[in-house]
Copies of this chain bind each other. A is one copy, B any other.
Amino acid sequence: MTAPTLSPRKATRTKTAAAPAREVATRDADKTRLKILEAAEAEFARKGLAGARVDLVAEEAGANKRMIYYYFGSKEDLYVAVLERVYTDMRIAEAGLELEDLPPLDAITRLVEFKFDYPAAHPHLITLLNGENMLGGEYLRRSTRLREMQISLIERLKTILAHGEKDGTVRPGIDPLHLYMTISAVSYFYFSNTPTLSTAFGRNLATPKEREIRRKHVVDVVSHYIKAG
């Protein structure tokens, strides 16, 4: 239980003067750290916190197990680091969406498409979040600096809806938070529950064709919900 915390993150950067860009490993040590994170992401996504094996992470990363404890302290702390990274990446991508220049309905459609395309491109995100929710979200809560990121998007959505109301394209009275949840839900559920749904319906829902059908459907659902008239 006693964390050594040799604080390798504050390692002196003797040679490389320029600050490295996000997730670009410049030094060998950073590369090892990154490889561990990537291997851990896959392992935790596949098996959850309890099912993941530290030895397998080490093997997959081509690193010595001891280095995982050297860099991250414990299995749980490694898990938090993975969660933080994946979650932050998504929020950054979301923040980068240029919605404000578009007409309200188009802006929301773009958000819906993003909420479909992002998990499609990052399947680990889904299973990691599923696992985290099974654990009551306690590890994500542990992570600082995640609290502030989310709220801004709801504010942006609120503004977009207000514009739409004003120009008559959007039905009034839509709750931005619940709209955001619904937009997330209709795509997330599809990716998250494809395995059991495919079994239940006796039909593989993970094919590119089915995926495209679903994508059109979710845009359709949200459009009809927000459209005025």
Q: Are A147 and B202 in contact (CB under 8 A)?
A: yes
A67 on interface, CB distance cutoff 8 Å: no
A155 to B192, CA, bound (A): 24
Q: Are A175 and B217 in contact (CB under 8 A)?
A: yes
Please encode chain A, from 169 to 201, with 1 for each CB lying within 8 Å of some chain B CB and 0 for all others: 001000101100110111011101111111111
Please encode chain A, from 40 to 68, with 1 for each CB lying within 8 Å of some chain B CB and 0 for all others: 00000111111100000000000000000
Please encode chain A, from 136 to 154, with 1 for each CB lying within 8 Å of some chain B CB and 0 for all others: 1110110000110111001
A127 on interface, CB distance cutoff 8 Å: yes
A6 on interface, CB distance cutoff 8 Å: no
The number of times this chain is found in the oligomer is: 2
A56 to B21, CA, bound (A): 47
A154 to B177, CA, bound (A): 30
Query: Which residue of the partner chain B has the closest CB to A202?
Result: B147
For A, the interface residue count at a CB cutoff of 8 angstroms equals 57
Mostly, the A contact residues are helix
Known: A151-B202, A200-B150. A178 touches B136 (CB 8 A): no
Q: Are B185 and A188 in contact (CB under 8 A)?
A: yes
A9 on interface, CB distance cutoff 8 Å: no
Report chain B residues within 8 Å CB of A177.
201
Most buried by B among A136, A154, A189: A189
A154 to B147, CA, bound (A): 40
Known: A130-B133, A200-B146. A178 touches B213 (CB 8 A): yes
Additional pairs, 5, CB under 8 Å, beyond known A130-B133, A133-B196: A48-B48, A48-B131, A51-B51, A147-B200, A178-B217
